[in-house]
Amino acid sequence: MNELELINFIRIYCKVNSNKANREKYNYYYKEEQDFYGLTAPQINQFAKDFTRQHKPNLSTLINAAPELIKSSKHEESIILIVLLRLQAKHFTPNLLDEFSKWYALGIRNWAQADSMAMYLLHELHARKIVHYKAFEPWITSPYPFQRRSVPVSMVKWGKKHPHIPELLAFNEPLMTDSIREVHQGIGWFLRECWTRDPLATEDFLMKYKETSARLIFQYACEKMTPQNRERFRRTKNNK
């Protein structure tokens, strides 16, 4: 199967299984209207498993198909590609980092696509020690907000096993002054998980920014703390 056949197969499946009610329901979770087929997550995951088992697509075919699927306005086309690639993670190589980076300019246009990239693809590059986390440094200052968001989100699961949480906090520190809401959510989620691993280091880090960083970051970061502990990270009245 070549990339054109792969793309056609995915699009036929999506059209056959489109669901108008789901299309309308899913847009509730996005600030800007998205273009959905209306597939469910179980449908996408099952399709990816069945397709991989039956057709055995190789990594290069998936990568060659990526530009067309990523730039598509249809949300699920990029998600299906990402899930299919996740099933090929054992074949990942360092050069994929540059390839993945290009996709944010092509069409990673919402938080779900960015988080799928981060949790399914970038996480695998971390966890399998294919690339060092510092290879993501240029992403921290990317002009694409969802690329910036993907950096801390990619470390959410991987960071739980990292022995040096202060290193990860310092690496992501420039995002504490980011101006974009979706980035605030991503760094906040990351900090919440860092706190479960190393509360003292994370709380010291948060204290540095409690008067200056977006409050949404703290809403996420402090979510698992006791109410009494969360109070320590409120802004003083003069800075609200």
pLDDT tens-digit series, residues 208-236: 999 999 999 999 999 999 999 999 999 98
CATH architecture of 110-240: Alpha Horseshoe (1.25)
For residue 38, is it left (φ>0), alpha (ψ between -120 and 50) or beta?
A: left
Instruction: Supply the pLDDT for residue 128.
Output: 93
pTM: 0.93
Check residue 162 and give its pLDDT.
72
* pLDDT value for 159: 66
Q: pLDDT tens digits for 101-150?
A: 999 999 999 999 999 999 999 999 998 999 999 999 999 999 999 999 99
Taken in order 113, 118, 122, 124, is the CA torsion positive or negative?
negative
Q: Which of 162, 224, 213 is nearest to 189 (CA)?
A: 224
Q: Which residue, chain included where needed, has tokens 């609200």?
A: 240
Average pLDDT of span 25-31: 89
Stretch 2-30: mean pLDDT: 95
Residue 161, C-beta contacts closer than 8 angstroms, at least 6 positions apart = none
Cα-Cα end-to-end distance for the chain: 58
CATH architecture of the domain formed by 1-91 = Alpha Horseshoe (1.25)
Kindly report, as residue ranges, where domains of CATH 1.25.10.90 are found in the chain. 1-91, 110-240
Separation CA 191–CA 165 (nearest Å): 10
Does 240 have pLDDT greater than 60? no
Place of tokens 């246009």: 109
Q: Please, what's the largest Cα pairwise distance for the chain?
A: 63
Q: Is-contact 94 40, C-beta < 8 A?
A: no
- pLDDT attached to residue 54: 96
